[in-house]
Amino acid sequence: AMKYRCIIPVSYFVEGPKVAKLSEPYIIRRIDKAPIPLAGFFSWIEGVKHVAIITTPASDLLLKGVGHHRSPMIVDEDNEGLWLDQQAPKEELEQLFGRFDSKPFEAVAVSKKISSPNRSDRPNSSKDMLNPVGDTMRMNSKGEITYVQNEIKTEGGQASLF
């Protein structure tokens, strides 16, 4: 059983529509590109560290925009100490579970290559997998999906869509 709560910082996470799954992948990231603190558990079992990321119901961006029903649990900066406090009361921790605020986030459609298994003969870690293949979705202050057109920028002779 997972024993300790932890925070797993990530740059983005990948989701796709519930029906199409990762054949239509999106990276979900903060608009300001800051790390995303995901809630997790870890434990040592027979000398091996095991980690699990907690999922919660999807935010509006994932549900309305991407069409996905769940997301990793994101811990607000104000609640990181509470989440990491192994003695925190269950009632206080339960208040952290729920949808995250979509406004600081965006969903970027990316190549389905991102969902390919990572193999030594065919690594899936190239940066081109993060290049947008469509417009970027964001939530406006009214809770509506808006689209931001991605522009191609030239940096040092190479094209970049970021």
DSSP code at position 73: P
What value does the mean pLDDT take over residues 100-128?
81
Per-residue pLDDT tens digits for 9-20? 999 999 988 877
Distances 149 to 21, 127, 162 between C-alpha atoms, Å? 23, 20, 11
Average pLDDT, rounded, for the chain: 86
Q: How many residues does the chain have?
A: 162
Q: What is the pLDDT of residue 7?
A: 97
Residue 112: CB atoms within 10 A of its CB come to 16
The stretches of 101-150 forming alpha helices (DSSP H) are none
Q: What token pair was written down for 47?
A: 């000398």
Tell me, what's the pLDDT at 84?
97
Q: Give the CA angle between residues 27, 134, 160 to the nearest 5°.
A: 80
Residue 121's pLDDT band, with cuts at 50, 70 and 90, is confident
Whole-model pTM: value is: 0.83
Q: What are residue 25's phi and psi, to 5 degrees? A: -80, 150
pLDDT recorded at residue 155: 45
Quick check: 130 pLDDT over 60? yes
d(CA 101, CA 79): 14
Tens of pLDDT, residues 29-51: 999 999 999 999 999 989 999 99
